[in-house]
Structure 1
Amino acid sequence: MTNPLSKTIELYDTTLRDGTQGEHINLSVQDKLLIAERLDEFGMDYIEGGWPSSNPKDEEFFLKARQLKLNHAKLCAFGSTARSSATVKSDQNLLGLLQSETPVITIFGKTWKAHSSKGLGISDEENAELIHRSVQFLKEAGREVFFDAEHFFDGFKDNPEFALTMILAAVEAGASRVVLCDTNGGSMPHEVDAIVKKVVATAGVPVGIHCHNDSDIAVANSIIAVQAGATHVQGTINGIGERCGNANLISIIPNIMLKLHGSFTHLQQLSQLTSLSKFVFEILNLPSDTKAPFTGKSAFAHKGGIHVSAVMKESSLYEHIDPKLVGNRQRVLVSELAGQSNIRYKADELGIKLPEKGEQIRNLVHHIKELEHKGYQFDGAEASFELILRRELGDFSPYFNVLETKVHIESGVDSKNVDQAILKVQVGNEIEHIAADGDGPVNALDKALRKALIHFYPAIKTIRLVDYKVRVLEEKRSTSAKVRVLIQTSNGQETWGTVGVSTNIIEASLLALQDSMNYHLFNVRTAIQKKAAAEA
């Protein structure tokens, strides 16, 4: 058994800053706020929100983030040292960091001699003074300051004395953490081990690690650093980030907890790991990595032959951990029985009791498999999945039917942009013929559907669309490809996801909208029935 780590490890998430520097990664302010709340709920110690002086989006995020009610995490603003030691107090970057009003500020500085002498054109003494005065200025303003030692490992290998001098300049100025950055992602584990041990013995404050994945060993290097004495780990969810990405916290966390028997300050529910990973993928509008260790759909999947036989008898024969520890599940990819097992697992989570056997369960399995073949995916769309189960069991039937849909889009140089949806909707024996204008065809559909239903179901007033994403499923088919529309709807207390798939983006959107409203109405009816039963 591995000796447990003697110190509690701090988790520092930089998904919202370093992660967004990755190719194809784009987050709105609302996206960043949602992720920040989820990271806090999961148990992160620090959340790096962005670089407030670099762009208006990050400035808006920090402004709105003041309203977040974080239970555990401290929000951090990121930036650099001042441009000149002579203008520290008037440096716009440092002033912008203070204006973000975060309790923690992280700044980076040059710790590779080549960068300071050639890039900045300053002497060793001037670089040390620049770091010292920048940290001191922020510290005197009442902020906790972390110092990211940029290119530290390359700098140490080039000139150990210079690199350590820069670290100590930050410490002497009041930095409470020094974070060693493998900025180019090229260091080897044995190098990280030796260098971290040297810094831990010298720095006098907790030492952190920040690795990039250019050599595909960012996770390994982070874990080696922890074993060498680092007590602060930086990374991103799902390893997103510039070039090849950052160290993946989704892999680092379970390795430290389950393999090194280490602990974190606030993280208690490791079983939420898979859910967190999928949540961030969905917010990014990216498909989940099915091959991801610990959390991927294939991480505990077994297909045929002796593996399946052995796993069914004793899962540890072919699984390095119990999948439930990280919120994942074992999957057997062969036979109808495996399909039933997966559906039963999800039904149990939703509190739905399925029949043990018979035609009904076989039809349900067949129906789900057909939908998945067509492109449906129910990760992030559990409301749609629940409606399918309940409809098959006879617990639910749609509260309305859309009989006819027309969407009118008009644009041009000499004409006003118009998006209008016309719906014919049946509720019971009544038919509503409704038109509505909107900001885009989907918004027009949403408004028309609400307008048609509000008379029959006033509860519709309480819900609103909070997120809308489209994913192309068959890219090679170009404009004739199927699309999957995933929407998130909220009633102010809870949020649920629904999905629609079609070669027609309007139809896919309408399918998701219909599920969303039906799900809400079903829950309202169920709540009323439960209340009446309790009062009876």
Structure 2
Amino acid sequence: MTIQIYDTTLRDGAQREGMTLAVEDKLKIARQLDKLGVPWIEGGWPGANPKDGEFFRRLQLEPLTQAEVVAFCSTRRPGGLAAEDRMLAAIIAAGTKWVTIFGKSWDLHVTEGLKTDLAENLEMIRDSIEYLISQGKRVIYDAEHWFDGYLANPEYALKTLQTAIDAGADWLVFCDTNGGTLPQDITKIVDRVIQTVDPQRELQFGIHTHNDCELAVANALAAVSSGVTMVQGTINGYGERCGNANLCAIIPNLQLKLGYSCLHEADLIRLTQVSRYVSEVVNIAPNDYAAFVGRCAFSHKGGIHVSAVERNPLTYEHIDPLLVGNERRIAISEQSGLSNVLIKASEMGLTLTKADPRTRQILAKLKELEYQGYQFEGAEASFELLMREILGQTSTLFTIQGFQVHCSIATQQHHSLATIKIAVDGQDILEVAEGNGPVAALDAALRKALSRFYPELAKCHLTDYKVRIIDGEAGTAAITRVLVESSNGHHRWTTIGVSENILEASYQAVAQGIEYGLLVRSPQMCSLVDVK
């Protein structure tokens, strides 16, 4: 049986606080969803803002390949006519075959929100749907606040739904708009309503849930078990307040756990990639702990777990991560055993065996450094350098002889000046550089000193900088952990520094990031080490 996936990332998802999508962003995401095989993509509310109108205009010029693009709107205003409603006119102009229109199911919203009477609300639903159909549109009717409305006044809620059915709506969608309904109530109400309004099972129903009780995915699955065949949601669960139902969890649960068909298998493999692509476009850091698609979804840290997974992944993995395009990760920490070290070495192209004494040396050094405040599960480049050092696969590229950083806050524009002295191939190099902060200045000075010896360093740059105080009760004497992410345009890697001095910790992380980029990621330096 096929469950229709209806994506509303571009409309409902974009209502997330702090999330803004330009027209180009919306087009990029729409095309990725189209390639993923999502059959329905809700593009926005034309007429509500110029951006959404432009989005639909652009798609008329360059249509998607397989997905139905859907325009979204409310029923007409109270006391008017659908044929004269400005918002509905914009919907017609959007040029989509399908329109999703929402109407009020809850009598409280009719009287308090719309400030009209219950009979007029029914007329608004009927008039709007019939008008859209007269204009050649097919209609998906979102019964807004369905579950709250049904619990408060089931007789009236059913009248609103029956009105939409009689007016000719193709789909009827139950909306848990406030996100406060429990799964057992979803199951009971959906089952009861479908039996009431469609005993012959001739109509098509959908579900739209919000995550205010952390139950959006569970509620969507509950509705499917009661007979709905369309599930509305967003990529990564983006949405207003606590978010919408997360399609990145719903799709694999439906397809891999419950046996429904949502996407082709070849498309399901792209789910993790699409999840991360969308997070990049909307400029929101991916949730590493998200089910199925998160970076840590198939990550193993404890030595006993790693050893078991190495023998049989089913021991600690509920599915093969490759089914959703994810991968198994072995984390390195003080909880690691020899299995962790051996697997990480293999991933990094290094040859180690359990009998090799250097394996235990690496593990002992790892635990010692983690005790000091290092955290290598978030800085795998530093751990690779550590392993290569113990294995004798590194070269000394430069030696720090000292640095000074001067910060000026005398003007509105804060500047920092770093002076650094290093030795390269027996030569002492002294350089000075400015930056908009002490770490930026230090990074610039180090790169300036090294660039004449390693011109390929120009391709590497610092992309992220994070600081954590480990023992806050120690005040200004607290141990500081610094994580620096670097990139050469093709790869990203993270290195770590730990010290009571934040600048010293920053230097350690920055210097290791440069060292890793030159030793491991630079083609010109590949002869120095065994690279992946």
Same topology, TM > 0.5: yes
Aligned counterparts of 1:299 and 1:274: Cα–Cα separation in 2: 12
Instruction: State the 1:145 CA deviation.
Output: 7.8
Deviation larger for 322-331 or 419-428: 322-331
Instruction: State the 1:468 CA deviation.
Output: 4.3
Using a 3 Å threshold, how does the CA distance of structure 1 residues 529 and 418 change in structure 2: closer, same or farther?
closer
Deviation larger for 455-464 or 103-112: 103-112
Contact 2:482 2:496 in 1 (8 A): yes
- 1:344 counterpart (342, 345, 348): 342
Contact 1:210 1:247 in 2 (8 A): yes
Which stretches in structure 1 are left out of the alignment for 5+ residues? Answer: 1-5, 531-536
Query: Is 1:500 aligned to 2:496, yes or no?
Result: yes
Which position in structure 2 is the counterpart of 1:151? 145
Classify the secondary structure of the residue corresponding to 1:223. helix
- 2:458 counterpart (415, 439, 461): 461
Aligned counterparts of 1:39 and 1:27: Cα–Cα separation in 2: 18
Aligned counterparts of 1:209 and 1:172: Cα–Cα separation in 2: 20
Classify the secondary structure of the residue corresponding to 2:350. coil
Aligned counterparts of 1:120 and 1:80: Cα–Cα separation in 2: 12
Contact 1:294 1:328 in 2 (8 A): no
Instruction: State the 1:219 CA deviation.
Output: 2.9
Contact 1:483 1:504 in 2 (8 A): no
Which position in structure 2 is the counterpart of 1:533? none
* TM-score, normalisation: structure 2: 0.69
Using a 3 Å threshold, how does the CA distance of structure 1 residues 335 and 77 change in structure 2: closer, same or farther?
same
Query: 1:408-451 CA distances to partner (integer Å, 9 max, x unpaired)?
Result: 22224x66532333332333223332222223333333433332
- 1:116 counterpart (110, 113, 121): 110
Which position in structure 1 is the counterpart of 2:510? 513
Instruction: State the 1:496 CA deviation.
Output: 0.6
- 2:487 counterpart (486, 489, 496): 489
- 1:428 counterpart (419, 425, 430): 425
Classify the secondary structure of the residue corresponding to 2:441. helix
Aligned counterparts of 2:29 and 2:359: Cα–Cα separation in 1: 40
Which position in structure 2 is the counterpart of 1:187? 181
Instruction: State the 1:260 CA deviation.
Output: 0.8
Contact 1:207 1:229 in 2 (8 A): yes
Counterparts in 2 of 1:40-189, with a 5 A limit?
A: 43=36, 45=38, 109-124=103-118, 126-127=120-121, 148-160=142-154, 162-163=156-157, 166=160, 179-189=173-183
- 1:225 counterpart (223, 236, 248): 223
Contact 1:44 1:73 in 2 (8 A): yes
Aligned counterparts of 2:68 and 2:479: Cα–Cα separation in 1: 44
Classify the secondary structure of the residue corresponding to 1:433. strand
Using a 3 Å threshold, how does the CA distance of structure 1 residues 266 and 49 change in structure 2: closer, same or farther?
farther
Classify the secondary structure of the residue corresponding to 2:337. helix
Which position in structure 2 is the counterpart of 1:534? none
Using a 3 Å threshold, how does the CA distance of structure 1 residues 50 and 449 change in structure 2: closer, same or farther?
farther
Contact 1:468 1:487 in 2 (8 A): yes
- Partner amino acid, structure 2, of 1:225: A
- Partner amino acid, structure 2, of 1:485: L
Which position in structure 1 is the counterpart of 2:255? 257
Query: Is 1:411 aligned to 2:405, yes or no?
Result: no
Aligned counterparts of 1:167 and 1:271: Cα–Cα separation in 2: 38
Contact 1:40 1:70 in 2 (8 A): no
Instruction: State the 1:152 CA deviation.
Output: 1.6
Using a 3 Å threshold, how does the CA distance of structure 1 residues 191 and 377 change in structure 2: closer, same or farther?
same
Classify the secondary structure of the residue corresponding to 1:263. coil
- Partner amino acid, structure 1, of 2:446: L
Contact 2:482 2:509 in 1 (8 A): no
Query: Is 1:10 aligned to 2:5, yes or no?
Result: yes
Aligned counterparts of 1:51 and 1:320: Cα–Cα separation in 2: 39
Instruction: State the 1:487 CA deviation.
Output: 2.3
Counterparts in 2 of 1:353-502, with a 5 A limit?
A: 353-377=351-375, 381-397=379-395, 399-412=397-410, 416-471=413-468, 473-474=470-471, 480=478, 482-491=480-489, 494-502=490-498
Query: 1:506-526 CA distances to partner (integer Å, 9 max, x unpaired)?
Result: 444444433433333335644
Instruction: State the 1:228 CA deviation.
Output: 2.6
Contact 2:36 2:270 in 1 (8 A): no
- Partner amino acid, structure 2, of 1:459: E
- Partner amino acid, structure 2, of 1:442: V
Query: 1:43-67 CA distances to partner (integer Å, 9 max, x unpaired)?
Result: 47377799999999x99x989x99x
Query: 1:339-381 CA distances to partner (integer Å, 9 max, x unpaired)?
Result: 2222333333343333443221112222333444455445665
Instruction: State the 1:7 CA deviation.
Output: 0.7
Instruction: State the 1:121 CA deviation.
Output: 0.6
Contact 2:332 2:377 in 1 (8 A): no
- Partner amino acid, structure 2, of 1:420: L
Classify the secondary structure of the residue corresponding to 1:451. helix
Aligned counterparts of 2:352 and 2:509: Cα–Cα separation in 1: 25
Contact 1:145 1:175 in 2 (8 A): yes
Using a 3 Å threshold, how does the CA distance of structure 1 residues 395 and 332 change in structure 2: closer, same or farther?
closer
Contact 2:404 2:420 in 1 (8 A): yes
Deviation larger for 509-518 or 172-181: 172-181
Instruction: State the 1:208 CA deviation.
Output: 3.4
Contact 1:94 1:138 in 2 (8 A): no
- Partner amino acid, structure 1, of 2:494: T
Deviation larger for 502-511 or 442-451: 502-511
Aligned counterparts of 2:475 and 2:168: Cα–Cα separation in 1: 57
Query: 1:163-194 CA distances to partner (integer Å, 9 max, x unpaired)?
Result: 45655777899987654322333323343224
